[in-house]
């Protein structure tokens, strides 16, 4: 029997590529949401002599948005006190060679994003994995700062397009085996900007019974990613994570 903790921890770590999608090319060039600091005075100089220099209008450089830091993002993650009793924080897991593969050209996007560990253009990223015991439930949260709301929305849109193009692929987890997983888009929680949800599930082979659900949504310039091994807590956990992140990061709450 496959150890569910090991399998889920590994798959969650690998599957974060759906949140940190690598096909978000060009996100670095998206516009900033910070208003320009350029100003000009319409009041003529005072005729009264003054010892201070005159405020001659000059061209100014737009002020860039202050970059998100890992420390800031970490504070916005769910904590044990935000979850029901019985959960613990699991250590980060590293890539152990688990891979999604497909011979179908239409699945190239999903294979690429699932197998990628980090996203070009991501300014800062933090992850926290919770487990409710050896057999779960497992919940993972990721906050990824993309630099602008436009870049965050583009990342989610490209992830959605990749998921919709592919209905199944093969998942291989070293030590557990290989099975075909069906890929299906789910009705997503309504929090955030352009929310989406996707399910990976294996019904046969050595990974039979395996299920992994991802929820991805935007909070201004930040992408919130949630991962679950079952759909039961998807709505409540996503709402809690979104509300806390929006409050800590100072973003405006939105919904579909």
| ∠ CA 251-90-244, rounded to 5° | 15
d(Cα 36, Cα 28) in Å, to the nearest integer? 18
pLDDT, position 66: 78
pLDDT tens digits along 171-218: 998 888 999 999 999 999 999 999 999 999 999 999 999 899 999 999
Q: Which CATH architecture has domain 4-18+67-249?
A: 3-Layer(aba) Sandwich (3.40)
pLDDT greater than 90 at residue 247: yes
pLDDT reported for residue 95: 59
DSSP 78-92: --GGGS-TT-EEEPP
Q: Please write the tens of the pLDDT for every residue from 72-122.
A: 999 999 999 999 899 999 886 555 678 889 999 999 988 887 776 655 567
Specify the pLDDT at position 206.
Answer: 93
pLDDT score recorded for residue 248: 96
Residue 163: Cβ-neighbour burial (10 angstroms; 0-12, 13-18, 19+): buried
Q: Where are the alpha helices (DSSP H) in the chain?
A: 4-15, 70-76, 108-115, 149-164, 234-249
pLDDT for 38 equals 36
Position 31 pLDDT exceeds 50: no
What is the token pair recorded at 189? 């929680």
Spans of all domains in the chain: 4-18+67-249
Average pLDDT of the residues of the chain: 77
In the numeric block, the tokens 């093969």 are attached to 170
pLDDT tens-digit map of 219-242: 999 999 999 988 888 999 999 999
Q: What average pLDDT does this structure show over 233-253?
A: 92
Tell me the percentage of the chain whose pLDDT exceeds 70: 68
Q: Which of the four pLDDT bands, split at 50, 70 and 90, describes residue 133? A: confident
Stronger pLDDT, 60 or 214, i.e. the higher one: 214
Q: Which H/E stretch holds residue 171?
A: strand 168-173
């Amino acid at each position: 029997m496959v150890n569910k903790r090991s399998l889920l921890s590994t798959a969650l770590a690998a599957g974060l590529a759906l949140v940190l999608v690598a096909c978000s090319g060009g996100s670095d060039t998206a516009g900033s949401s910070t208003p320009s600091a350029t100003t000009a005075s319409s009041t003529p100089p005072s005729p009264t002599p003054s010892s201070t220099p005159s405020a001659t209008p000059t061209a100014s450089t737009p002020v860039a948005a202050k970059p998100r830091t890992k420390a800031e993002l970490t504070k916005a993650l769910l904590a044990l006190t935000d979850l029901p009793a019985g959960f613990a924080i699991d250590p980060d897991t590293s890539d152990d060679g688990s891979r999604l593969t497909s011979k179908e050209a239409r699945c190239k996007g999903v294979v690429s994003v699932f197998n990628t560990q980090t996203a070009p253009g991501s300014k800062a990223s933090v992850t926290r994995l919770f487990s409710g015991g050896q057999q779960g439930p497992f919940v993972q949260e990721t906050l990824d700062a993309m630099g602008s709301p436009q870049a965050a929305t583009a990342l989610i849109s490209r992830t959605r397009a990749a998921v919709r193009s592919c209905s199944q692929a093969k998942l291989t987890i070293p030590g557990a085996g290989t099975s075909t997983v069906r890929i299906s888009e789910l009705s997503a929680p309504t929090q955030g900007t352009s929310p989406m949800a996707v399910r990976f599930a294996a019904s046969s082979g050595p990974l039979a019974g395996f299920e992994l659900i991802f929820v991805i949504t935007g909070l201004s310039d930040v992408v919130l990613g949630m991962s679950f091994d079952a759909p039961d807590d998807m709505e409540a956990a996503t709402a809690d994570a979104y509300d806390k992140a929006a409050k800590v990061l100072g973003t405006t709450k939105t919904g579909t």
